[in-house]
Every structure is written in structure tokens, then in C-alpha cells.
Amino acid sequence: MAQPNLEPTVCAGDVLGAYLRSQATAFLRGLRLHGESAASGADAAGGFDAARSLRGAARRISGSLATFRVVTESSWADGLRTELVWLSSTLADEHAYAARLDRLMDALHRLSGGSEVPSPRGSAGALTVGSARAGALLERQLTLARTRSHSATLQALGSARFHAVADAVAVLASEVPLDAVAARGRVDDVLVPLAAVAETRLSAAVAALPSAEGTHPYNADHDGRWHEVRHLLRVHRYAREALGDDVTRAAAAGEALDRHRDAAEAAAASATAARTPRIAPATAYALGVLHADQRHEVEAARFDFRQIWLPAPLASSGGAVTPR
Amino acid sequence: MAQPNLEPTVCAGDVLGAYLRSQATAFLRGLRLHGESAASGADAAGGFDAARSLRGAARRISGSLATFRVVTESSWADGLRTELVWLSSTLADEHAYAARLDRLMDALHRLSGGSEVPSPRGSAGALTVGSARAGALLERQLTLARTRSHSATLQALGSARFHAVADAVAVLASEVPLDAVAARGRVDDVLVPLAAVAETRLSAAVAALPSAEGTHPYNADHDGRWHEVRHLLRVHRYAREALGDDVTRAAAAGEALDRHRDAAEAAAASATAARTPRIAPATAYALGVLHADQRHEVEAARFDFRQIWLPAPLASSGGAVTPR
């Protein structure tokens, strides 16, 4: 029964089908765990982990359906992809607000001197006055937003729309609707060129990013282009994953862009909180410091991404580079 | 009349005397120019340049008198040095307030979007609301401080104490009071070891600086140690200048520490302004951003100093380093 030299007979449909089935299985497992943790009321740790793996599987399925669209039944793929994007973004909100609050509280703690160093004079002392109130304000605003998205998540998970998605993914776990012709092609002829298209799109977006010199850190004008790179890097990474390639570097670069997005959103939340009517000047001052701090984290994340992702420069000078 | 091979006959007193005489001459020229520009009312450009060269000469004389104290008549050197330190610090204040205001205004302009990029959304827009008022507040406070130090400078320049300093420097320009024995020694035996002591003191202070990792940028606790390194670097540089050595690297490192001092003082001025009673939250927010910005400039200056001054690390990794 053993077939020696099996590889040449593996076709595009086999590889893509195996990847989609494994992700569909992960999706369903995450869904089950999410439901269990919601039922048991143990929302914090288990629920977050379940929601995270659910979102990860949803993103991998929708990303692969986009990249390898022509290898699948395209109209089915388009429909499922739309629904998965809706679901994962709905699920992401609640987690994002919680993570943003954690990030801002950590930063405030650090900025106001934290537990590390007692600060007898000047700036840090002045900051402590407002940072407690700034923290309370941010907590109130972000907890409210988080509660709203928790309700939205519960509503979504109880909707007919959600049950239709879950049913579609359950079908996908056993049977992937493929394009009969394209799926029979060789991996190198079909999947590899499609993955290369995703990579080309990413490279073009990276090349079009504004240079590090021309920007200043408090300007959020360029954030959108960086968020787009983050999205394209994910699509690229999932395509490579489907092909069984090593994605370590893409994952590390993606983490830098996740930090970039988180810091940009945290800076925006701080600026929003500073526009709250009738806050004390000390509170506004602390929010200003916090905003600037998070924008510097944005810059640091951009620097980290470039270090990880862009080709290393010639090691001629031997000097280190400062991200200014 | 020509003496072949003159160098071995040059003694410590000749080298130190020539340096002190040239600096005394520069001091007197600066003093004359300062008086002329004050009389003509052209205070802005010419007056600042004259005061700058006056201060530079005063620092070089007092620094050399400290390093090479034993080569001079020590009691005379100690007295003149004390008076020169008083004079140069008095002269420095007015310029420092003006420079601080310029630095803060430039930063505010940059932070609020400046003329470079119109900023339709979020952070920069919110910042613009408060930055104009923050700028007006800082201008009021720093202009007041500058006016006070201008009066103090005028009072100092009219004082008997000042005229005594000017007389002493006028004597120095023609005749340097030296220690008869030490001044006859060879340069290598007398001046070089004394300059090495100044360098050792600097190296010890640099080695004792807190590591870049352990600090966070909003904490001013370590500023004093950096300001002390700036002072010791100047003393070292002037000692090397007196010996005719190349001081390019020391001058560049000193510029980084000047920026460090300026940014630290600007950050403190912003924090002080934020404690003004009854300011609007938007103003306080802008001052918070400004404070954090200047503290990041402090960090960048520390990074620059290390890059210029510390021995280059082994170029093994080839990677660049981010100053976090």
C-alpha cells in the first residue's frame, strides 16, 4: 500500500484543503471552549484564550480564502470570508478595550515613578498628582466601552448570522469546496504564485511607508498605512503557513505591528480622555504625558518592525542607529 | 638668531601661560564687544555672541586654573576662579532663558503639527487647541525670568566685584602669576599628568552613570549626574586645549550634553508651567505632551553622548540598537 515518492502527487487542493480543515477544527474547538467558559462564568483567562484562538482561526481561514480564492469555489469563499471578518472584528473589540486599559495603566504607573524609584523632585511628582485621576478617568471610559462590546459580542454569538457562520465552518472542517480544475494543479504552479501575489502586495505597502526621518512622533497621520501593512503581513503569513513555510520572522514582525497598533490606539484613547469636559489641569497634564509616551511607543514599534523585516543594511559603519 | 630644535626648552609655564594669556585676551575682546553692543542697543545678535565668547573665555580660564592649579600661584588662582565662575553663571542665565523659550516654542510648533503636515484627526488637533495657550503661558513665564536675569546681568556688570574681575583678567593677559618651580618643569612631567587627573575624574563619572536600560525617560532623578559629567567633560576639554590636543570628539560629546541640559531644563519649565493655578485642561495637556517630548530629547541626547564618547562596541551582531 505504501507509495514511494508520494510528493509529486500532492496537488494544490490537498494542501489548501488540509490547512483550511485544520483551521476550521481549531475554530470549532475555540467556539466550544468559549461557550463552556461563558457558561461556567470563568470569563477572565479561559474565555480570553478561547476567544483568541477562535479569532486566530477565523483570520487564518478568511486570509487563506482571500489569497487562494481561485482554488476554492469563489462565491462560497467570498461569502464565508465576509462573515468571518465580521465575526473576528466583533470578537476582537472587547479584548482590545481590556488590553488598552491594561497598557495605559501600566504606562501611567511607570510614568508616575512606579515602584522603582522614589522621585523627590520636579516632574514625576507633578505627574503623580494627575496620574491617579487620569487612571480613574481612563478606567471609567474604557470599562464602559468594554462593557458595550461585551454586550455586542453576546448579541452576536446568539444571532442567526453567527449560527450560519458556525455551520459553514463545521462543513469546512470536513469538506472544503474547491475549484475542480485549479485544485488539481501542482502546488508550485497554483498556490506558490498566489502566495507570491500576497507577498508582493505586502512589499509594495512596506516600500510606500513614509521614511523614519520625515515624521514626528505625535502625528497620527501615517498610522493607517502602518495598520494596512499589519493586515497585509498577516495575510502573507497565513499564506506561508498554509504552504508549510517557516513564518518565525513574519510572526515577530507582526508582533511589532501589533504593538504599533495597540500603542496608537492607546495614545488616541488618552487624547480622547483629555477632551472630557471639566477635568482638572493635573489630569489633563498626565494624559498629555501619557499620549506622548504612547506615541513614542508607536515610533519604537515602527523601528522594531524595520529592524526585523527590512533587509539588514551593510555592516560597514558598525554604528548603531537611533530612531529619531 | 634661529634656534634649531626649540621644543625641548618649552616648559610647563610657557604652555599654560600662552593659553591663559590668549583666553584673557579673548575675554577682554568679548567684554569690549558686549559693552559696545549694549551701548548701541543692538542687543540681540551681537550682544549674545559677545556674551557667549566672554563666557567661553571665562570658563576656559577658570577650568585651566582648576586643572593646573599647582603650576600657578594657587591662592591667586583660587580667588580668580571663584570670581570667574560667578561671572559666567550670571551671564549665562539670561541666554539660557531665551534659548529655553526658543526650544519650547519650536517643540510646541512641531508637536501641534507645525507647517509640515495638516492633521485632520485626533491627537494633533486636540494638541493645537492647548498649544497656543501653553506657548503664551511659557512665553510669559520665561520672558519674566529672562528680564529678571537681564537686570541681574546689568547690575553685575556695573558692580565693583565685576570691575575687580576685569582688572585681574587684564593683568592675566600680559602676565600670568606662576609657581616658580612647577612652571619650569617639562610639559610631560607637569601639565600632562594634571590633565590626566581631570580625564580620570571624567571617566569615573561616566562609568558611574546609570545604565540606559534601568531608567525611564520621565524621571529627572539622574539629571544631576549627567550635568556633573557635562561639567567634567568641559574641564577635560579645556585642559586638552591648553596642551594643544585635538578636542573634536570632546566638543561633539559636549554638544550632546548641552542638548541634554537644555532639554532637561525645558522639560522642567514645562512641568512648572503646568502647576500654574487655574490653567485650562487643554493647556495642561499640551504642557504634558511637551514635557514628555523634552524628556525624550533628554534620552536621545544621552544616547548620542554614549555613541560619541564611549568606546565603540564590537561590530559582532551588526544590528542597530534602539534607545529604550
How high is the pLDDT of residue B280? 95
Q: If you measure CA to CA, which chain A residue comes closest to B270? A: A123
Percent of chain A having pLDDT more than 90?
Answer: 74
Q: Which of A:10-69 have CB within 8 Å of B? A: none
Residue A299 contacts residue A217 (beta carbons within 8 Å): yes
Report yes or no: A320 at the B interface, CB cutoff 8 Å: yes
Three-class HEC string of B134-195: HHHHHHHHHHHHHHHHHHHHHHHHCCHHHHHHHHHHHHHHHCCCECHHHHCCEHHHHHHHHH
Q: Give the three cell numbers for residue B33.
A: 564687544
Q: Which amino acid is at A240?
A: R
pLDDT at residue A145 is higher than 60: yes
Report yes or no: A121 at the B interface, CB cutoff 8 Å: yes
User: Mean pLDDT over residues A138-155, rounded?
Assistant: 94
Q: What is the DSSP letter of B221?
A: G
Q: Give the three cell numbers for residue B154.
A: 546689568
How high is the pLDDT of residue B225? 95
CB contacts, 8 Å: A287 with chain B: 285, 288
pLDDT at residue A292 is higher than 90: yes
The whole-angstrom separation of Cα B113 and Cα B123 is: 10
pLDDT at residue A118 is higher than 50: no
Work out the minimum CA distance from A19 to partner chain B, whole angstroms: 36
Q: Which amino acid is at A258?
A: D
Please give the backbone phi and psi of residue A186, each rounded to the nearest 5 degrees, phi first.
-70, 150
pLDDT at residue A177 is higher than 80: yes
Q: Give the three cell numbers for residue B298.
A: 533628554
The whole-angstrom separation of Cα A91 and Cα A98 is: 12
Please give the backbone phi and psi of residue A210, each rounded to the nearest 5 degrees, phi first.
-60, 145
With an 8 Å Cβ cutoff, are A322 and B323 in contact? yes
Report yes or no: A269 at the B interface, CB cutoff 8 Å: no
Report yes or no: B7 at the A interface, CB cutoff 8 Å: no
With an 8 Å Cβ cutoff, are B268 and A123 in contact? yes
Mutate which: A115, A116, A219, A321, vs B, most B CBs within 10 A: A219
Q: What is the DSSP letter of A218?
A: T
pLDDT tier for residue A312 given thresholds of 50, 70 and 90: low
Work out the minimum CA distance from A5 to partner chain B, whole angstroms: 42
B43 or A160, which is more confident?
A160
Q: What pLDDT tens digit does each residue of chain B (324 aa) get?
A: 444 444 557 899 999 999 999 999 999 999 999 888 777 765 566 777 888 899 999 999 999 999 999 999 999 999 999 999 999 999 999 999 999 999 999 999 888 765 433 344 444 455 677 999 999 999 999 999 999 999 999 899 999 999 999 999 999 999 999 999 999 999 999 999 999 999 999 999 999 998 876 566 666 789 999 999 999 999 999 999 999 999 999 999 999 999 999 999 999 999 999 999 999 999 999 999 999 999 999 999 999 999 999 976 544 444 444 443
Task: Quote the ipTM score.
Answer: 0.79
**Closest partner residue to B293 among A113, A287, A292, by Cβ?**
A292
The whole-angstrom separation of Cα A294 and Cα A301 is: 10
Residue A63 contacts residue A175 (beta carbons within 8 Å): no
Q: What does the DSSP assignment read for B79-94?
A: HHHHHHHHHHHHHHHH
CB contacts, 8 Å: A291 with chain B: 123, 285, 288-289, 292
pLDDT tier for residue A291 given thresholds of 50, 70 and 90: very high
Work out the minimum CA distance from A298 to partner chain B, whole angstroms: 12
Q: Which of B:272-291 have CB within 8 Å of A? A: 274-275, 279-291
How high is the pLDDT of residue A236? 98
pLDDT at residue A110 is higher than 50: yes
A98 or B121, which is more confident?
A98
> Helix (H, G, I), strand (E, B), or coil: what is residue B290?
helix
> Helix (H, G, I), strand (E, B), or coil: what is residue A178?
strand
Work out the minimum CA distance from B258 to partner chain A, whole angstroms: 18
pLDDT at residue A121 is higher than 90: no
How high is the pLDDT of residue A41? 64
Q: If you measure CA to CA, which chain A residue comes closest to B278? A: A281
Residue A57 contacts residue A23 (beta carbons within 8 Å): yes
CB atoms within 10 A of CB A189: 11
Q: Which residue has the cell 503623580?
A: A128
Q: What does the DSSP assignment read for B14-82?
A: HHHHHHHHHHHHHHHHHHHHHHHHHHHT-IIIIIHHHHHHHHHHHHHHHHHHHHTGGGB-HHHHHHHHH
With an 8 Å Cβ cutoff, are B124 and A280 in contact? no
**Burial class of residue A163, CB neighbours in 10 A (0-12, 13-18, 19+):** exposed
Least confident of A45-49, A254-258, B84-88: A45-49
**Burial class of residue B218, CB neighbours in 10 A (0-12, 13-18, 19+):** buried
Work out the minimum CA distance from A127 to partner chain B, whole angstroms: 8
With an 8 Å Cβ cutoff, are A218 and B127 in contact? yes
With an 8 Å Cβ cutoff, are A271 and B312 in contact? no
**Counting runs of H as helices and runs of E as strands, what totals does chain A give?**
10, 0
Q: Give the three cell numbers for residue A186.
A: 501542482
Report yes or no: A218 at the B interface, CB cutoff 8 Å: yes
Residue A253 contacts residue A309 (beta carbons within 8 Å): yes
Work out the minimum CA distance from B291 to partner chain A, whole angstroms: 7
CB atoms within 10 A of CB B54: 22
The whole-angstrom separation of Cα A137 and Cα A131 is: 10
pLDDT tier for residue A320 given thresholds of 50, 70 and 90: very low
How high is the pLDDT of residue B7? 55
Please give the backbone phi and psi of residue A238, each rounded to the nearest 5 degrees, phi first.
-70, -35
Q: How many CB pairs under 8 A join A and B?
A: 166
How high is the pLDDT of residue A92? 93
How high is the pLDDT of residue B182? 93
pLDDT tier for residue A319 given thresholds of 50, 70 and 90: very low
Report yes or no: A296 at the B interface, CB cutoff 8 Å: yes
How high is the pLDDT of residue B110? 86
Q: If you measure CA to CA, which chain A residue comes closest to B292? A: A289
